[in-house]
């Protein structure tokens, strides 16, 4: 039983650490409430290619806010 404990405990600690330290980098509905913008303001196609960002999405990803962002015409 000691052998199993020696293997399982480090694995559990490592997995727990990874889960605690990782962050999600995809859009959430709360972002639309916070920014008052539709999904397609930041995403090229929110359904087909959710990770493909427009300039606004790249700006938001970097700054965690659209404050100071000016849309290019």
For 27-53, the pLDDT digits (tens) are 677 888 888 988 889 999 878 888 899
The residue ranking higher by pLDDT, 1 or 13, is 13
- Per DSSP, helices labelled H in the chain are 2-21, 29-35, 39-42, 55-63
The residue ranking higher by pLDDT, 71 or 55, is 55
DSSP 71: -
Query: What is the pLDDT, as a whole number, of residue 1?
Result: 54
Is position 1 within any domain? no
Residue 64, classed as helix, strand or coil, is coil
Range of 61's domain?
25-67
Mean pLDDT of the chain: 82
Is position 43 within any domain? yes
Mean pLDDT on 10-31: 73
Q: How confident is the model at residue 26 (pLDDT cuts 50, 70, 90)?
A: low
């Amino acid at each position: 039983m000691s052998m199993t404990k020696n293997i399982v405990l480090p694995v559990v600690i490592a997995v727990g650490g990874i889960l605690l330290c990782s962050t999600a980098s995809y859009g959430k509905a709360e972002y639309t409430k916070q920014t008052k913008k539709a999904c397609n303001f930041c995403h090229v196609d929110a359904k087909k290619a959710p990770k493909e960002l427009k300039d606004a999405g790249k700006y938001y990803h970097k700054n965690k806010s659209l404050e100071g962002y000016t849309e290019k015409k």
